Structure 1
Amino acid sequence: MPSPSTALNGRSLVDGAASGELLFADIGLSFWGGVDAFSGEVIDRHHPLSGAHLAGRVLAIPSGRGSCTGSSVMMELISNGHAPAALVLAEPDEILTLGVLVAQLLFGRSLPVLCIGQQAFAALRGKAFAQVQGERLVLFDQAPAEALPAAPASPPAATRPTTLTLTDHDQALLAGDLGKAAQVAMQIVLRMAELQGAHSLVDISQAHIDGCIYTGPASLRFAQQLVQWGARVRVPTTLNSISVDQRRWRELGIDAALGEPASALGDAYMAMGAQMSFTCAPYLLDSAPKLGEQIVWAESNAVVYANSVLGARTLKYPDYLDICIALTGRAPLIGCHLEAQRKARVQIDLPALTHLDDAFYPLLGYHIGAMVGSRIPLVTGLERFAPTHDDLKAFGAAFATTSAAPLFHIAGVTPEALDPAQAVSAGEVLPVKRIALADLLVSWRELNSARDSQVDLVSLGNPHFSLGEFAHLAQLCRGRTRNPAVSLVITCGRAVLEQARDAGHLAPIEAFGAVLVTDTCWCMLGEPVIPPAARTLMTNSGKYAHYAPGLAGRAVHFASLGECVEAACTGSASGRLPAWLQPAAPQESPAHV
């Protein structure tokens, strides 16, 4: 056996021992949209590990990022045998760790998770093989002849001691006085609270559940097990998009192998008392929280919007922890639930800007998210533009795609940065990063992955379309003729769809030939809603422009809503750079580069 080249110590988030070929990347990875839950292949086509398979390898990434559903994907991978042998992180990641803990609790299967810190993480570059043994990581320049056999920790005991301060109600939940489901939920809440470093719990007023997305048999098994244990939510609870349009999946041609379990998963969460909202944009509902309200929301774009635009208080909760908190009404008092943890950690200065359109905000959010990693930014330079709620929705969704941060501040715009000084801790001088138009052009080209001008599908509504977006689209479609070779599909929530119908916005959109899909969203849609013959799609969503090459296997044109409608009429993307980008480079040719 070769001698180890390096030995490091870290913090064990999930105990165990495993070894394998080291798969290293210095960029965070979203398991949802970035890893195939059934094969373990990395499908994020923008990630350096694209095409690699995780099974049996020690995965080393700085942290997760993007979707809260990463925990569900991790659980599926553990359940079906395609998970990494171990996970090594530079920073603690609640989303991925929670997926391991739930698999450990329900299925008795696990993998070690070790956090070693940013400085030590850099030592992993170039190493070929790794062994994780509890809090110790041993690195090799080549694979040993005899690898350490995997030996994950045993599932946690039902009565695990806790260091948190608990109320009498908390103790009753933990003792099982309020039922098996509430007891198991409380065990998971406390385990995560300890990992996060919380000292106590806080009451929450509402929850939004992301775990209703079907990622495979394990996700349905988890929900149905809670129902069998008598689960009932203790606070008003809304549901995220599910994986199919529950009312029309057969009509849309969805295979019953997906339609039936995905619909059953939605039913299971409603059986726990959750509302049939089925939207990834719960901030568009009448139940949206107010400034300062303590809530528990999952779904990455919704978390960022709630914290940043509404000023409510939530962490970026992983799937399954969200329902556990809804079943107990109690959340770890940590992170963005605390005033001090909501302050900016880096300032982003924008260049001189002019002639902005609606493509600017998702592109900017995408770019800034990648710049800041897990740090909360304070963005300056938009004070005079007065971005709308739809602009901030698009910014936040793209920001949440590339960042692990649950919050952003925009000077003079978002509620906790109307006075920018209030978004910064007293006495702290923030590091400053400046963006040039040439930097934004790089991100524009990254989102525009299509190599020719053809457009076969226009996809709108990621996140779900708002009433304002329906009004804007109706104006753009009125009197226009769609190219019959181009499909235009919009996803939205049921409540907003009825509001748009009542307002008269749907008539010109339906006359244009758009297909309206409720309950689900683009990150869950595939064929035949995406026409099998379609090679390229066009979207105004920075989030979907990032995920579609991996999730849908199609190249993407990214542009404004107006450009999307134009392409639906002509069947071709113009390739024009928006006016606000043109000073950075000469006019582009019709084919994106």
Structure 2
Amino acid sequence: MPEFAVTARRLVAGNAQGELLYADVGLSFWGGVDPFSGEVIDRHHPLSGQIIAGRVLAIPSGRGSCTGSSVLLELILNGHAPAALVVAHPEEILSLGVLIAQSLFDCGLPVVCIGPEAFSRLHDCAFVRVEDDRVSAFTQIPADNWQATTSKTSVTHGATGPIALNDTDRDLLAGKHGKAAQVAMQIVLQMAELQGAGELIDITQAHIDGCIYTGPASLRFAEQLLAWGAAVRVPTTLNSISVDQRLWRQQGIDPAFGEPASQLGEAYMAMGAQLSYTCAPYLLDSAPQANEQVVWAESNAVVYANSVLGARTQKYPDYLDICIALTGRAPLTGCHLDAGRLATLLIQVAPLGPLDDAFYPLLGYHVGALSGSQIPVLDGLHNAAPTRDDLKAFGAAFATTSGAPMFHIAGVTPEAASIEQALGGLPAQHIETVSAAGLLESWNELNSAPSAQLGLVALGNPHFSLSEFAVLAALCEGRSKHPDVALVITCGRHVQQQASAAGYLATLDAFGAQLVTDTCWCMLGEPVLPVGTTSLMTNSGKYAHYAPGLVGRTVHFGSLAACVEAACRGFVSGELPAWLSQAHQPREKLSDV
């Protein structure tokens, strides 16, 4: 007999069973799970080092990157996927990866949502069985010889009834605009059902995150759409790809990786997407305006578009982004609606005195962990006057530890002239406080390097802006980096051209900095990351979190000025910023080796 059984909401139907792998912390599959082995590589996660293959994975929800759907597709096709996914809250990114596996490759796994209360009861269980909408949990392996059937999985039906379609939608479904658009519309409608949307809306532009090469499945998907005649129906930009398309051979990238990674970018351009290759599309001239309905993927870009620009997009999974670009239609749900943009969590930030630029990525990282999937409104920063670069750094780190698609900062972001506006006139469902002591804990978490040794300073995650180049050039003027330290900046081609015209690149070249375009630090490894380097420094809260799992290096995190000082000295001082030193608790001194 099971310890308990519960009726679940089927996100993707099916049946399976297996040993339970449980965590009460959300997990980003991109940067958190190795797509070729199923190992949890997020070194900050309680499941770090565990193998998810063949087990029933129970997590409250996903979090972080939109590329989680692509990683899960790779795992399904290479045989290292979990047997089933059990979540506490509806999970769209991972569900979409399963739907793609089902729609294009005729395989998949069940995904079920059981709610927070039932989810917490799994903590003491060892084995879980999923039978469509029934989830049974056991303290030991049952001896009843139950076998999962091999019937094809399918998406659950939404609770809102049939989705209203217009004539163009029906033509797309009928194949009048080609096979690729037909399949894309089928997938869009499956997700609309899962989300409970009653209708679709027109969108004005798309930003595609699925151009990141996660393995053979990502290229198979794009090439299949292209073979079916895929062509985007709206202006479409491309996220960072996995290599510098112009220089990867000169950089020494293995052709076994470089060639398919470059081909993937070319496949999306063949569908009509622009050659943008940036994880910061809000820096392009095509950035959307307030209230513009768009479809963006890439977690930091989504958060920035919603929160800072006031545009409207969901946190779209890889592959759903291109499906919507091929149809021009998106489910009317979530942040596309006024109600879906309201904060439910109030976070009060205690005064900390004069701040430097390390504050905002650290705060974003900390607030993201506090928020989970809730949209927060922060109080206490209205006099701090954060810049667009500060908000970019905050949003990227926030999107790393949170599943929420946006944030509000009272008196700063466009939909939060007041706390009351951000909350929609309703009381906050939860209230949290950010103190210096709490930020210090997150600071120590991001600073994982045990020694002062340094081989690399990694800047540009997300991609550097022109104003960041201006600040960096001023910090580097008349100086030279240490010969044993590489300083590498990633940016988009358009910003590279602007920085060159402004004279910033000449200054940085004299300093000894290197520039990489088209790709970003979450996709880069050796030899761009110097072979033999054991630790690196970054001013990115996002990369400080992901680097230990992605590239196996320990990390120093600090301000841009601290990064330049370390690059010049050849080592990291380990000093806390003044605004954080008030909460200082003795930390083991960094060794010199």
TM-score bracket for the superposition, by shorter chain length: over 0.9
Asked if the contact 2:14–2:154 (Cα under 8 Å) also holds between the matched residues in 1, the reply is no
Secondary structure at the counterpart of residue 137 of structure 1: strand
Residue 369 of structure 1, CA deviation: 0.3
CA gap of 1:436–1:152, structure 2 versus 1, over 3 A, is farther
Offset, 1:15: 1.0
State the match for 1:541 in structure 2: 540
Give the 5 Å matches for 1:159-308.
163-308=162-307
CA distance in structure 2 between the aligned counterparts of 1:167 and 1:147, rounded to whole angstroms: 49
Contact 1:461-1:490 within 8 A present in 2 as well: yes
Aligned to 1:67: 65
Q: 1:486 to 1:102 in 2, by over 3 A?
A: same
The answer as to whether partners of 1:458 and 1:489 remain within 8 angstroms in 2 is yes
Q: Answer yes or no: is the 8 Å Cα contact 1:574–1:590 preserved in 2.
A: no
CA drift of 1:146 comes to: 5.5
Q: Secondary structure at the residue paired with 2:124?
A: coil
Conserved in 2, the CA contact under 8 Å of 1:110 and 1:152?
A: no
Aligned to 1:412: 411
Q: Answer yes or no: is the 8 Å Cα contact 2:238–2:276 preserved in 1.
A: yes
- Which of 70, 73, 76 pairs up with 2:74? 76
Q: Residues 21 and 156 of structure 1: is their aligned pair in 2 closer, same or farther, counting only changes over 3 Å?
A: closer
Is the Cα contact below 8 Å between 2:161 and 2:198 reproduced in 1? no
Aligned-residue offset at 1:154 = 1.4
Q: 1:437–1:111: structure 2 CA closer, same or farther, 3 Å change rule?
A: same
Deviation for aligned residue 1:426: 2.7
Structure 2 counterpart SS, 1:490? strand
Q: 2: CA distance between counterparts of 1:429 and 1:60?
A: 28
Q: Matched residue of 2:20: which SS?
A: strand
Rounded Cα–Cα distance in structure 2 between residues aligned with 1:589 and 1:104? 51
Aligned residue number for residue 577 of structure 1: 576
> Distance in 1 between the 2:31 and 2:270 partners?
28
After the TM superposition, which residues 364-513 of structure 1 pair with which residues of structure 2 at under 5 Å, given as runs? 364-513=363-512
CA deviations on 1:352-398 (whole Å, 9 max, x unpaired) are 12120000000000000000101110101111111000000000000
* Mapped contact 1:105–1:155 kept (Cα < 8 A): no
Could you give the per-residue CA deviations for residues 549-571 of structure 1, whole angstroms, max 9, x where no partner exists?
00010000000000101111111
* One-letter amino acid of the counterpart of residue 591, structure 1: L
> Aligned partners of 1:483, 1:517: CA distance in 2, in Å?
20
Aligned 1:71-150 pairs, distance under 5 A: 71-145=69-143, 148-150=146-148
Structure 2 distance, partners of 1:88, 1:431, is 25
The runs of 5 or more residues in structure 2 that have no matched partner are none
How far off its partner does 1:341 sit?
1.1
Q: Displacement, 1:420?
A: 3.0
For residues 310-349 of structure 1, the aligned pairs below 5 Å read: 310-349=309-348
Question: Amino acid of the residue matched to residue 535 of structure 2?
Answer: T
CA distance in 2, matches of 1:468, 1:587: 36
Distance of 1:147 and 1:301 partners within structure 2: 46
User: Once superposed, what is the RMSD of the aligned Cα atoms?
Assistant: 1.5
Uncovered stretches (5+) of structure 1, i.e. residues with no partner: none
Q: Residue type of the partner of 2:16? A: A
The aligned residue for residue 20 of structure 1 is 18
Contact 2:12–2:153 (8 Å) recurs in 1: no
**Bigger CA drift: 98-107 or 162-171?**
162-171
From the superposition, tell whether residues 580 and 147 of structure 1 become closer, same or farther in structure 2 (CA, over 3 Å): farther
How far the C-alpha of 1:574 sits from its partner, in A, is 0.7
Preserved contact between residue 14 and residue 153 of structure 2 (Cα < 8 Å): no
Shift of 1:480: 1.2
Give the residue type in structure 1 aligned to 2:35. A
Encode CA deviations 1:289-319: one digit per residue, 9 max, x unaligned: 0001000000000000000000000000000
Contact 1:198–1:333 (CA<8 Å) still a contact in 2? yes
1:149 CA displacement: 3.1
Counterpart-to-counterpart distance in 1, 2:91 and 2:151? 19
One-letter amino acid of the structure 2 residue matched with residue 257 of structure 1: A
Question: How far apart are residue 431 of structure 1 and its match?
Answer: 2.9
Q: Secondary structure at the match of 1:491?
A: strand
SS at match of 1:415: coil
1:51 correspondence with 2:49: yes
- Offset of 1:436 from its aligned partner? 1.2
Q: Percent identity, please.
A: 68
Against the structure 1 CA distance between its residues 427 and 446, is the aligned structure 2 distance closer, same or farther, given a 3 Å change threshold?
closer
Q: Distance in 1 between matches of 2:41 and 2:588?
A: 29
Shift of 1:428: 3.2
**Paired residues of 2:26 and 2:63 also in contact (CA < 8 A):** yes
- 2: distance between equivalents of 1:584 and 1:399? 22
- Distance change (3 Å), C-alpha of 1:147 and 1:400: farther
Q: Distance in 2 between matches of 1:54 and 1:9?
A: 24
Q: Residues 476-529 of structure 1, C-alpha deviation per residue, up to 9 Å, x if partnerless?
A: 111112111011111100000000000111111111111100000000000111
Q: In structure 2, how many angstroms separate the alpha carbons of the residues matched to 1:400 and 1:535? A: 26
- The CA distance in 1 between the partners of 2:317 and 2:372, in whole Å, is 18
Note the C-alpha offset of 1:51.
0.3
1:155 positional shift? 5.7
- Taking the aligned partners of 2:144 and 2:484, their CA distance within structure 1 comes to 58
1:150 Cα deviation after fit? 3.5
Partners of 1:252 and 1:528 within 8 A in 2? yes
* 2:11 aligned counterpart, secondary structure: strand
Shift of 1:29: 0.2
Counterpart-to-counterpart distance in 1, 2:186 and 2:511: 52
Q: 1:346 to 1:147 in 2, by over 3 A?
A: farther
8 A contact 1:576–1:587 mirrored in 2 = no
- Secondary structure of the 2:415 match is helix
SS at match of 2:578: coil
- CA offset digits 1:235-267 (Å, max 9, x no partner): 000000000000000000000010000000000
Cα separation, 1, equivalents of 2:381 and 2:468: 21
Deviations 1:7-43 (A, max 9, x none): 1111111111111100000000000000000111000
Shift of residue 424, structure 1, vs aligned partner: 1.5
- Match of residue 30 from structure 1: 28
Matched, 1:531 2:526: no
